[in-house]
Amino acid sequence: MSDPVILLVSVGLASIACQLLAHKLRIPAILPLLILGILVGPVFGLLDPDALFGDLLFPLISISVAIILFEGSLTLKLKEMAEHGSVVRNLCTVGTVITWLVATPAAHYGLGFSWQMSALFGAIVTVTGPTVIVPMLRSVRPAKKIADILRWEGIIIDPIGALLAVLVYEFIISVQDAWTHTLAVFGLTLAVGLGFGLLIGFSLGWLLKKRLIPHYLENTAVLTLMLGAFAFSNHIAHESGLLTVTIMGMVMANMKNIDLDPIIEFKETLSVLLISGLFILLAARLNIDAITNLGLGSILVLLAIMFIARPIAVFVSSLGSELTLKDKALLSWIAPRGIVAAAVSSLFAIKLESNGFDEASALVPMVFLVIIVTVVLQSLSSVKVAKLLKLRSPSATGILIFGANEFNRRFAKALKEHGISVTLADTNWDSVSKARMDNLNAYFGNPSSAHAENVLDFSTIGRVLVMSPYRQLNPVVTYHFEYLLGKGHVIGLSHAEQDQRASHKIAQAYAERLCLFEKSATYGRLASMTARGAVIKTTRLGDNFDLNSYESLYKGRSFPLCAFDSHGKMHLYTTQRNFQPSSGWLIVSLVEPESEVSKQLPVTDDLKSTVSLPKDA
C-alpha cells in the first residue's frame, strides 16, 4: 500500500479501534496500540513511518511531544500537589530523583551506555502517566488512599519527569561544544526556555483572564501561540522549545481566575488523537532485532528499576506518613511506564543520532522494553497482589451525582451523613463552588470527559444518578457510565414530557433509564419544592410507626428518595421499586412545609427528622 492518504487515514482508524478495544477490555490503550504498531511495522512491513513522512517525521514527533507536554503541564497545580499529601509530593520530587539515580548507573553498567546516555534514559523512565495508571486502578480497585496516591502521582509526574529529561538532553547537546562553551550553551538553553516559558505563559494567562481573546477562539489561539513559542524558542536556542512549553503550562495552571477547563478538554482530545497515532508510528519504527540484541543487561536494568528504584522511592517518600508496610508494598509494585516515555525517547533518539550519538539507537528499544514489561506484568498481576495484601476494595458503593444544584447538594449531604461516598459533578462553576463550601466532593466539568477520568477515582463509584438540567448532555453521561458500570447502574430523573411532537420525544431505550424516585420527580419539580422550603428528612420506622403511618402522615407533601435497611444497605426509590421498608428501616424523603392542618397532626416518638445510621451499618 503506497497511497499516503490511505495510510494516514488507516493509522487514524486503527488508533481509534485500539482505544475502543482498550476501553472495552478495561486495559491500558498502550497495549493494543503497541501490538498493532509492531504488527504493521517490523512484522508485516505494511507501514514505514520514515518513508511515509520523510523529512516531516521529526517535526511531526517534535510538535506532538510539545502538545502532549503542554497539556500535561496545564494540570500541574502546585497547590493540588501539596493538598494531596506529602507522599505524592515526595514521589514526584524525591522519588523522581531516586529513580533517576538508580536507573542511570544500571543503564551504564548493564547496557554499556555512556554516562550521558544513561542519565537521559534514567530521566525518561521516571514517568508513569495517567493513561496507563487509570485503567489499571479500575480493575485493581486498591484501597482509596493507594488509588489517590497512584492517580495523582501519574498526573503530576508526567511533566516533571519530561522536564528532567529535557534538561538532561540539553546538557548532553551542550557538551558537544568545547568545554569552555558548555556552561554558556546550557545556560542559554535554560535562560531561553525558562524566560520564554514564564513570559509567554503569564502573557497568555493575562489575555485569558482579561477576556481579550473571544471565547470561540481561545482553544485555537492557545494552541497556535504555544506552537509559536515552541518554534521561536528553538530558533533562538537549539532545542529549548520543550522546556518553554512545559514552563508555559505550569505558569498558566497556577494563575488565579483563569478558566482552563475548556482548553484542557480540547488539548486532551487532541492529545488522545496524537498519542494514539503517534504510538502506532513509533512502534512501527521499532527494530525487533535491536530489542533482542540488548542482551541480559536489559534484564538487570528492568530488575533495578522495578525492584530497587521503585521500592526505595516509595519507602523514602512515605517516611513519616501513615502508610502501612502493605500499603508501601502495593505502591512499590504498581508503576507502569506510558506514552510520554515512548514519545520523548523517540524524539531524543532521532535528534541525538543526527548529532552523532550512535548509541542513541539503543535508547528507544530499551525504553519500549521497560514500557512493555511494566504494563503487561503489572496489569496481569496487580489484582492478585492487592488481594494477597488484602488491600483490594470491595465492590464499589460510591455514588456520582451529575448536577450540583441546591436539591442535589442537600441529597448528597444526607447520603454522606449515612456513610455513603458521594461525588457531585457539574459544568456550572457556581453550583460546584457551593458544593465545595458545603464540604462535598465536587468536580467541575463534564464527568464523561477524559479529564474527569484522570482526576476522579471512578474505581469507588458503583452508581451514577443523572440529575442535571442539561438535557443534551444527560444522555451522553448516561450511556458513558452505563458502558463503564453496566446496565442498571445509571438512572436519571424523569422528563415527564408533555410535548408529543416526534422531534421532541426521547428514545424509548433512553426513557427506560429515567426512573429515579418517581415519574413526577422531574428536575423542575425538585427545584421548585426546594425553593418553596422543602427539606430532606430521615424517618425511622418502628413497631408503633409503620409504613402506613408514614404514608398517612406525609401524604400529599413529600415523596421518598431512598431507604436504609436494618443492615445499613441503601435502596433507591425508583418507578420500578421492588423493596418494602419495615420496622428498623430509615426512609429519606423530601418533605414540603407543613400546612396549618398538618401541623395539628400528632407525631409519634418513632418519628425523627434527623436520625443517624445505626452503628452496625
- The whole-number pLDDT of residue 228 equals 94
| Interval 127-140 mean pLDDT | 76
- In the DSSP assignment, the letter for residue 544 is S
Residue 6: C-alpha distances to residues 1, 2, 13, 54, 566 (Å): 8, 8, 10, 16, 63
pLDDT of residue 329: 94
Of 434, 440, 393, 396, the residue nearest 416 (C-alpha):
440
Which of 25-29, 215-219, 402-406, 504-508 shows the lowest mean pLDDT across its residues? 504-508
Q: Which fold is adopted by the domain 394-531?
A: Rossmann fold (3.40.50)
Q: What does pLDDT average to over the chain?
A: 83
What lies within 8 Å, CB to CB, of 272 at 6+ separation is 19, 450
Whether residue 120 has pLDDT greater than 90: yes
CB 270 within 8 A of CB 69: no
pLDDT at residue 400 above 90?
Answer: yes
At residue 113, the pLDDT reads: 92
The pLDDT, as a whole number, for residue 121 is: 95
Q: How confident is the model at residue 53 (pLDDT cuts 50, 70, 90)?
A: confident
CA 350 vs CA 72, 246, 359, 535: distances in Å = 23, 21, 11, 65
| Residue 497 in this model has a pLDDT that exceeds 80 | no
Q: Averaging pLDDT over each range in 36-45, 78-87, 269-278, 549-558, which range is the top one?
A: 36-45
With bands split at pLDDT 50, 70 and 90, how would you rate the model's confidence at 81? low
pLDDT for position 185? 65
pTM of the model: 0.69
Backbone phi and psi for residue 587, each to the nearest 5 degrees, phi listed first: -115, 125
Q: Does the structure show a pLDDT above 70 at 130?
A: no
Lowest mean pLDDT among 4-18, 86-100, 297-311, 594-608: 594-608
Among 5, 36, 39, 6, which residue's Cα sits nearest to residue 18?
Answer: 36
What integer pLDDT is reported at residue 433 of this predicted model?
Answer: 92
Percentage of the chain lying above the pLDDT 90 cut? 24
Residue 148's nearest CA partner among 339, 371, 330, 397 is 330
d(CA 224, CA 308): 43
Q: How is the chain split into domains, by residue range?
A: 4-388, 394-531, 533-617
Grid coordinates given for 279 = 504510538
Looking up cell 488484602 gives 390
- The grid cell for 211 is 477576556
**Number of C-beta neighbours around residue 609 at 10 A:** 11
Rounded mean pLDDT of 417-428? Answer: 90
DSSP string, 213-227: S-GGGHHHHHHHHHH
| Exposed/middle/buried for residue 29 (C-beta within 10 Å: 0-12, 13-18, 19+) | buried
Q: Is a pLDDT exceeding 50 seen at residue 614?
A: no
DSSP 55-81: GGHHHHHHHHHHHHHHHHHTT--HHHH
Q: Which of 345, 465, 411 is nearest to 590 (CA)?
A: 411
Q: Which residues contact 533 (CB under 8 A, 6 or more apart)?
A: 592, 593
Element (H, E) at 297: helix 296-304
Question: Backbone dihedral region of 403: left (phi > 0), alpha (psi from -120 to 50 degrees) or beta?
Answer: left
DSSP 42: I
Name the nearest CA neighbour of 73 among 223, 248, 202, 220.
248
Judge residue 269's burial from the number of C-beta atoms within 10 Å of its C-beta, 0-12 exposed, 13-18 middle, 19 or more buried. middle
Is pLDDT above 70 for 578?
yes
181 pLDDT band, cuts 50/70/90, is low
Q: What is the pLDDT of residue 128?
A: 81
Which is more confidently placed, 73 or 608?
73
The pLDDT score that the predictor gives to residue 598 is: 46
Better pLDDT: 310 or 19? 310
Chain segment 308-358, per-residue pLDDT in tens: 999 999 999 999 888 899 999 999 999 998 777 888 888 888 888 888 888
Pairing state between β 422-426 and 398-402 = parallel
- The topology under which CATH files domain 4-388 is Na+/H+ antiporter like fold (1.20.1530)
Whether the pLDDT of residue 221 is over 70: the answer is yes
Residues 401-430 as b or e (16 or more Cβ within 10 Å = b): bbbbbebbbbbbebbbebebbbbbbbbeee
Inter-helix orientation angle 218-236/261-284, to 10°: 60
Average pLDDT over residues 203-207: 92
Q: Is the pLDDT of residue 604 over 50?
A: no
- Do 118 and 108 form a contact (C-beta atoms < 8 A)? yes
Cell 508496610, residue?
325
- Give buried/exposed letters for 293-322 (b at 16+ CB in 10 A, else e): ebeebbeebbebbbeebbbbbbbebbeeee
pLDDT above 80 for 611: no
Q: Considering all CA atoms of the chain, what is the largest pairwise distance in Å, rounded to the nearest integer?
A: 95
Q: Are 247 and 240 in contact (CB under 8 A)?
A: no
pLDDT of the residue at 52: 87
Average pLDDT over residues 575-594: 83
Do 120 and 348 contact (CB within 8 A), yes or no? Answer: yes
